[in-house]
């Protein structure tokens, strides 16, 4: 496994990789969710590159950039065990030199929910992912369904800009008690951590309603609101039922729908989601 | 030479090209300026792809998209003689399907001059060039110095987004009387055509001033204004002296400068430019 920190080192290391190359973009502080992406990459690629970059342009001024958890040595130990070929961990200055001035933006699908609550967030994501694609030149790239809107934004960007890259969206990996894995789980106090699986329980109860024939999104959302009322540590920011491709709100579920949750525990904001599908 | 009209055809044709591949992006209605780019591509590339696409997203609502000159058969005849490998001439719907929603934007260097006068123009250019880069995947791409600000915007975009492509900016090709070649020259009436070489004469007179030691941009610009006053058919839109990298206006020329002209003849707008350099 080779750790590269500069574009020059990356270019040299990339040139000798067997193809197809799979890229797993991360912000580090890796957990089983990230490792599941690495494993998926190994299943269909001859080489695997993992990028570790806490991308400053996707954090708002009030967000947690400075305190975002970092532990490069622990990440490298985990990736070594997963037989990763290259870890691409650029410095900020390598990605955004002082006169940097180019942005990639996706419109419609970035507007609601995370896009509305975190202005500029998706522009930062699509810009850095474009840069990672162009520097690594993978044949495939792997993203988690955990960040459901991000996954759809990336798919839209890749289709629109004709990136010659196959995008794989991999399922959410959960702790034993159902909490979706996230680097931000580390912010939770013990009491908050104990309360946090309510997101998953709420989603499963929504699925029950759906499987019992409920198709009215408002009814499903009200039922979720009621569940969260029973947990004083949890403050839902949004509970949404949307079209999984466009992220437009759905009134009556016809075919597929995506339920999305963003819930605060103290200052920590957790997200989770579940696809409702007749099939 | 292979003409391809769909992404699928392009992918297949591209796969069999010898590398390095050179791309010459054009809007068609080709002239000697375009052909000089093709010739430059042949000098350093094993294969040459020319794209022909009148990109709707770089025209403003009041601009000449509908009447922009087109003659695909004549273009193909010219490119056949130049031994081009692939002509990539997509339909609008292939490049911009109905739910298209992704844009590439460069900030600072797009703000003045063409960017100010043609809002959205450079966003259209950088977006379509990104798409052409991702579809053709060239090792090199060739642009003309005629569109000086566009050339700098492309260089900025390629550096910022880390496109793995070497950008070559090729010199302006002129008619015998000095008029810079442009597809838009075809709009000129005979009298306007006869008057149009004044752009080149004005630039050459600016170079004379510079070579005789003049470094004050205002003095140079005033002298150009006076030259244009003698030609009643010519209405200068801007006469600018800028830093060739940032496109910021220069007061006193230290090292290099770029003189830029945009001049109306009737409804036809012509641009031209010249680099002033001590070397």
DSSP-based three-state secondary structure for B168: strand
- Across chain B, mean pLDDT equals 97
Strands B21-26 and A140-144, bridge-based pairing: unpaired
Q: Are residues A245 and A205 in the same domain?
A: yes
Q: Are residues A90 and A118 in the same domain?
A: yes
A contact set with B (CB within 8 A) = 7, 99-109, 126-127, 130-131, 134-135, 137, 156-157, 160-164
Inside any domain, residue B15: yes
Q: Are residues B102 and B190 in the same domain?
A: no
DSSP 8-state class, residue B139: S
- Residue B174: CB atoms within 10 Å: 17
Sorting pLDDT into bands at 50, 70 and 90, what band is B17? very high
Inside any domain, residue A175: no
Which pLDDT score, from 0 to 100, does residue A255 have?
Answer: 87
Q: Which two tokens stand for residue B7?
A: 């992404």
Query: What CATH number is given to the structural domain containing A22?
Result: 3.40.50.620
Sorting pLDDT into bands at 50, 70 and 90, what band is B255? confident
Measured distance CA(A51)–CA(A250) in Å, rounded: 35
The answer to whether residue A278 scores a pLDDT higher than 80 is: no
Interval A180-196 mean pLDDT: 97
Query: What CATH number is given to the structural domain containing B212?
Result: 3.30.1300.10
Which pLDDT score, from 0 to 100, does residue A279 have?
Answer: 58
pLDDT tens-digit map of A228-256:
999 999 999 999 999 999 999 999 999 89
Which pLDDT score, from 0 to 100, does residue A245 have?
Answer: 95
Inside any domain, residue B208: yes
Q: Are residues A41 and A144 in the same domain?
A: yes
Q: Do the Cβ atoms of B104 and A135 come within 8 Å?
A: no
Q: Which two tokens stand for residue B107?
A: 């900030």
The answer to whether residue A142 scores a pLDDT higher than 90 is: yes
Residue pairs spanning A and B at CB distance below 8 A:
70
Q: Are residues A222 and A255 in the same domain?
A: yes
Sorting pLDDT into bands at 50, 70 and 90, what band is A155? very high
Q: Are residues A213 and A85 in the same domain?
A: no
Q: Which two tokens stand for residue A214?
A: 């409920």
Catalytic residue numbers of A read: 34
Q: Are residues A158 and A38 in the same domain?
A: yes
Sorting pLDDT into bands at 50, 70 and 90, what band is B279? low
Q: How far is B26 from chain A (nearest CA, A)?
A: 18
Sorting pLDDT into bands at 50, 70 and 90, what band is B195? very high
Q: Are residues B187 and B109 in the same domain?
A: no
Q: Is the ipTM of this complex over 0.90?
A: yes
Q: Which of A116, A149, A170 is the last residue before a domain boundary? A: A170
Inside any domain, residue B176: no
Inside any domain, residue A242: yes
Q: Are residues A162 and A192 in the same domain?
A: no
Dihedral angle of Cα A170, A172, A175, A176, to the nearest 10 degrees: -90
Interval B235-262 mean pLDDT: 97
Interval B201-206 mean pLDDT: 98
Inside any domain, residue A178: no
A61 exposed, middle or buried (CB, 10 Å; 0-12, 13-18, 19+)? Answer: exposed
- DSSP string of chain A? -EEE-SHHHHHHHHHT--SSEEEEEE-SS--HHHHHHHHHHHHH-SEEEEEE---GGGS-TTSSTTTS---HHHHHHHHHHTT-SEEE---HHHHS-TT--EEEEE-GGGSSTHHHHSTTHHHHHHHHHHHHHHHH--SEEEEETTSHHHHHHHHHHHHHHT-S-EEEEEPPPB-TTSPBP-GGGGG--HHHHHHTTHHHHHHHHHHHHHHTT--BHHHHHHHHHHHHHT-TTEEEEEEEEE-TTT--B-SB--S-EEEEEEEEETTEEEEEEEEE---
Q: Are residues A159 and A222 in the same domain?
A: no
Q: A136, A88 in Cβ contact below 8 A?
A: yes
Q: Do the Cβ atoms of A100 and B160 come within 8 Å?
A: yes
Q: A139, A20 in Cβ contact below 8 A?
A: yes
Inside any domain, residue A266: yes
Number of residues written out for chain B: 279
- Across chain A, mean pLDDT equals 97
The answer to whether residue A9 scores a pLDDT higher than 70 is: yes
Of A178, A174, A173, A172, residue with least CA distance to A194:
A178
Q: B199, B224 in Cβ contact below 8 A?
A: no
Q: Do the Cβ atoms of B104 and A100 come within 8 Å?
A: no
Residues in chain A closer than 8 A to B120 (CB atoms) = none
C-alpha angle B9-B11-B14 in degrees, rounded to nearest 5:
105
Measured distance CA(B144)–CA(B32) in Å, rounded: 11
Q: Do the Cβ atoms of B164 and A100 come within 8 Å?
A: no
Which pLDDT score, from 0 to 100, does residue A97 have?
Answer: 96
Question: Which range of residues forms the domain containing residue B43?
Answer: 2-170
pLDDT tens-digit map of A12-56:
999 999 999 999 999 999 999 999 999 999 999 999 999 999 999
Which pLDDT score, from 0 to 100, does residue B278 have?
Answer: 77
Q: Which of A103, A135, A170 is the last residue before a domain boundary? A: A170
Residues 6+ apart with CB under 8 A from B232: none
The answer to whether residue B99 scores a pLDDT higher than 80 is: yes
User: What is the crossing angle of helices B121-136 and B7-15, to 10°?
Assistant: 50
Measured distance CA(B25)–CA(B141) in Å, rounded: 8
A238 exposed, middle or buried (CB, 10 Å; 0-12, 13-18, 19+)? Answer: middle
Q: How far is CA A197 from CA A181, A185, B225, in A?
A: 11, 11, 72
Residue B35's H or E segment, with its range, is: helix B32-44
Q: Which of B120, B144, B170 is the last residue before a domain boundary? A: B170
Inside any domain, residue B224: yes
- Residue B142: CB atoms within 10 Å: 26
Interval A70-80 mean pLDDT: 98
- Residue of B7, B156, B163 with shortest CB distance to A101: B156
Q: Do the Cβ atoms of A102 and B106 come within 8 Å?
A: yes
Number of independent structural domains in chain A = 2
Dihedral angle of Cα A61, A64, A66, A69, to the nearest 10 degrees: -160
Q: Are residues B188 and B164 in the same domain?
A: no
Residues in chain A closer than 8 A to B163 (CB atoms) = 134
Q: Are residues B66 and B141 in the same domain?
A: yes
Q: How far is CA B90 from CA A18, B3, B27, B135, B168, in A?
A: 32, 10, 11, 11, 24
Cis peptide before A12 (omega within 30 of 0): no
């Amino acid at each position: 496994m080779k750790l590269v920190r500069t574009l020059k080192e990356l270019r040299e290391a990339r040139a000798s990789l067997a193809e197809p190359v799979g890229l797993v973009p991360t912000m580090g502080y890796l957990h089983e969710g990230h490792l599941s992406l690495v494993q998926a990459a190994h299943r269909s690629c001859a080489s695997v590159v993992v990028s570790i970059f806490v991308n400053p342009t996707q954090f708002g001024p009030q967000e947690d950039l400075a305190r975002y958890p970092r532990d490069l040595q622990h990440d490298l130990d985990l990736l070594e065990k997963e037989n990763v070929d290259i870890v691409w961990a650029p410095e900020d200055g390598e990605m955004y030199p002082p006169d940097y001035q180019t942005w990639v933006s996706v419109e419609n699908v970035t507007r609601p929910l995370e896009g509305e609550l975190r202005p500029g967030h998706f522009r930062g994501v699509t810009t850095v992912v474009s840069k990672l694609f162009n520097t690594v030149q993978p044949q495939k790239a792997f993203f988690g369904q955990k960040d459901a809107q991000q996954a759809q934004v990336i798919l839209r960007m890749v289709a629109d800009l004709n990136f010659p890259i196959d995008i794989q969206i991999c399922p959410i990996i959960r702790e034993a008690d159902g909490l979706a894995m996230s680097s931000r789980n580390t912010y939770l106090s013990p009491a908050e951590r104990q309360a946090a699986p309510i997101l998953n329980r709420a989603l499963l109860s929504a699925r029950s309603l759906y499987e019992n024939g409920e198709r009215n999104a408002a009814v499903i959302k009200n039922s979720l609101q009621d569940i969260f009322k029973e947990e004083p540590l949890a403050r839902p920011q949004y509970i949404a039922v949307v079209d999984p491709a466009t992220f437009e709100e759905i009134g009556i579920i016809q075919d597929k729908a995506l339920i999305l949750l963003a819930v605060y525990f103290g200052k920590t904001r957790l997200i989770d989601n579940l696809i409702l599908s007749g099939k």
